[in-house]
């Protein structure tokens, strides 16, 4: 181990000129309560080396460490230098000097507590999510319409992921025939409102998130004000009237929409995240006659297909929030569980569609 005299330091002014570097707060978690420097990773000192390794940080990537006054960060720097990191700096004067200089401070409300860090540890370890990604998830607001088969898995996993605010729209009650696939409900909730049953399950899973229930049947008249408050709309309904009403309202409000539908062993998922992308009506301009579109109750559905596709919807929502990976924007994902076949089809925008002039 070297000497702390040998650790390179950087002044606050020089830090402000630095580009493309990792800023790490190595203080203890209780010290974060006073805020931190904006953009800093609040990793603490205890698992610093492991955290950086998990993030696959290159050994020559510039890293600036800071603590309260600039001493502990030098010791933390020595630990990293011993692991062959070569561009390590300690911020002179630490957070106290930063704050005393009148610089902006990121408030504690945007910083994860130790409990939250434990809960979301597997997300935080992921290079594509990390602490900042988790914070993005926790600040997001998602509207899920339908607490049935698709909504069950979608809602459970969005809640587990820590989405900050979720609203659930449904007007049905829980029926015994629902429990074959609608796993958010259970036998103790029979004959209760689905929104109440879903709320009960989700609160037991993650009490830290805000859940709003909206007990209405969606139609063209009531949909628009409902979706205004949310970043992403997820259509988990099971009928064409609701699906077109939601599509048209999301297009009008220019909100990202993730739709899915299931039948027997098959189903599909699509998303529209950009104003110039095809909408649901571009692919299915009109609802088929009811004789050609039998419902789940008439034709049956294997319980697992809405489970899988509801999860696919939740995953697409997280990718949109995090701006990572390839989304289903402009694509239709079709799945056939009976024959283990899937297709990813490019979709095209129709010039005569209502979305074209939005
Ligand atoms: Zn369209």
Q: How many CA atoms lie within 13 A of 228 on its CB side?
A: 4
What value does the mean pLDDT take over residues 107-129?
A: 83
Alpha-carbon span 67 to 78, nearest angstrom = 14
Domains annotated for the chain, with CATH where assigned, are 9-101 (3.40.250.10), 115-346 (3.40.50.720)
Contacts of 84 (CB under 8 A, 6+ apart): 59
Give per-residue pLDDT as tens, 232-286: 999 999 999 999 999 999 999 999 999 999 999 999 999 999 888 999 999 998 8
Give the β-pairing of 210-214 and 266-272: unpaired
Asked if 218 and 237 touch (Cβ cutoff 8 Å), the reply is yes
Q: Compute, in angstroms, the gap from residue 266 CA to the centroid of ligand 1.
A: 23
Give per-residue pLDDT as tens, 30-61: 677 678 898 888 877 877 887 787 677 889 99
Give per-residue pLDDT as tens, 70-87: 999 999 999 999 989 999
Band (pLDDT 50/70/90 cuts) for residue 296 is low
User: What is the separation, in whole angstroms, between the first and last Cα of the chain?
Assistant: 63
Q: What's the mean per-residue pLDDT of the chain?
A: 91
Alpha-carbon span 90 to 75, nearest angstrom = 9
Tell me which long-range contacts 344-353 makes (C-beta under 8 A, separation of at least 24): 347/270, 347/278, 347/282, 347/283, 348/278, 348/282, 349/276, 349/277, 349/278, 349/279, 349/282, 350/278, 350/281, 350/282, 350/285, 353/278, 353/279, 353/281, 353/282, 353/285
* Whether residue 111 has pLDDT greater than 80: no
* Whether residue 93 has pLDDT greater than 80: yes
Q: 67, 236, 282, 296: which is the annotated catalytic residue?
A: 296
Q: Specify the pLDDT at position 268.
A: 97
* Whether residue 169 has pLDDT greater than 90: yes
Q: Degrees (nearest 5) of the Cα angle 206, 27, 46?
A: 75
Give per-residue pLDDT as tens, 201-229: 999 999 999 999 999 999 999 999 999 99
Band (pLDDT 50/70/90 cuts) for residue 125 is confident
Alpha-carbon span 260 to 83, nearest angstrom = 48
Tokens at 175, concatenated = 């029926």
* Whether residue 319 has pLDDT greater than 90: yes
Q: Compute, in angstroms, the gap from residue 357 CA to the centroid of ligand 1.
A: 9
**Active-site residue, 279 included:** no
Whole-angstrom Cα Rg for the chain: 24
> Sign of dihedral through CA atoms 172, 248, 220, 210?
positive
| Residue scoring higher pLDDT (292 or 28) | 28
Q: Specify the pLDDT at position 215.
A: 98
* Per-residue buried b or exposed e for 308-337, using 16+ beta carbons within 10 Å of the residue's own CB: bbbbbbbbbbbbbbbeeeebbbbbbbebeb
Q: Compute, in angstroms, the gap from residue 149 CA to the centroid of ligand 1.
A: 26
Q: Compute, in angstroms, the gap from residue 353 CA to the centroid of ligand 1.
A: 5
Q: Compute, in angstroms, the gap from residue 350 CA to the centroid of ligand 1.
A: 6
Q: Compute, in angstroms, the gap from residue 331 CA to the centroid of ligand 1.
A: 13
- pTM for the model stands at 0.73
Q: Compute, in angstroms, the gap from residue 188 CA to the centroid of ligand 1.
A: 42
What value does the mean pLDDT take over residues 317-326?
A: 93
Q: Specify the pLDDT at position 275.
A: 86
| Residue scoring higher pLDDT (135 or 317) | 317
Band (pLDDT 50/70/90 cuts) for residue 291 is low
* Whether residue 300 has pLDDT greater than 80: yes
Q: Specify the pLDDT at position 107.
A: 73
Q: Which helix (H) or strand (E) holds 259?
A: strand 257-263
């Amino acid at each position: 181990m070297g000497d702390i005299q040998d650790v390179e330091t950087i002044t606050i002014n020089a830090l402000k000129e630095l580009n493309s570097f990792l800023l790490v707060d190595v203080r203890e978690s209780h010290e974060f309560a006073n805020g931190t420097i904006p953009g800093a990773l609040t990793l603490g000192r205890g698992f610093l080396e492991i955290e950086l390794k998990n993030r696959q940080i290159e050994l020559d990537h510039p890293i600036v460490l800071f603590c309260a006054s600039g001493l502990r960060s030098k010791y933390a720097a020595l630990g990293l230098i011993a692991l062959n990191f070569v561009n390590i700096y300690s911020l002179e004067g630490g957070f106290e000097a930063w704050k005393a200089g009148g610089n902006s401070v990121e408030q504690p409300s945007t910083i994860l507590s130790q409990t939250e860090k434990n809960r979301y540890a597997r997300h935080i370890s992921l290079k594509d999510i990390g602490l900042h990604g988790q914070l993005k998830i926790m600040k997001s607001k998602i509207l899920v319409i339908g607490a049935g088969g698709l909504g069950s898995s979608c809602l459970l996993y969005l809640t587990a992921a820590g989405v900050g605010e979720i609203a659930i729209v449904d007007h049905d009650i829980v029926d015994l025939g629902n429990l074959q696939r609608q796993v958010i409900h259970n036998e103790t909730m029979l004959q209760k409102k689905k929104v109440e049953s879903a709320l009960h399950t989700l609160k037991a899973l993650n009490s830290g998130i805000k859940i709003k229930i909206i007990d209405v049947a969606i139609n063209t008249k009531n949909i628009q004000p409902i979706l205004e408050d949310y970043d992403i709309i997820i259509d988990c309904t099971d009928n064409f009237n609701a699906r077109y009403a939601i599509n048209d309202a999301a297009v009008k409000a220019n909100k990202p929409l993730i739709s899915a539908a299931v039948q027997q062993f098959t189903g599909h998922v699509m998303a529209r995240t950009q104003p110039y992308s095809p909408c649901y009506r571009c692919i299915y301009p009109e609802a088929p006659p009811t004789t050609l579109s039998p419902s789940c109750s008439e034709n049956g559905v294997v319980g697992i297909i809405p489970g899988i596709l509801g999860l696919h919807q939740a995953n697409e929502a997280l990718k949109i929030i995090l701006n990572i990976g390839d989304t289903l924007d402009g694509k239709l994902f079709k799945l056939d569980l009976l024959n283990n076949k899937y297709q990813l089809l490019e979709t095209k925008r129709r010039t005569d569609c209502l979305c074209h002039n939005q």
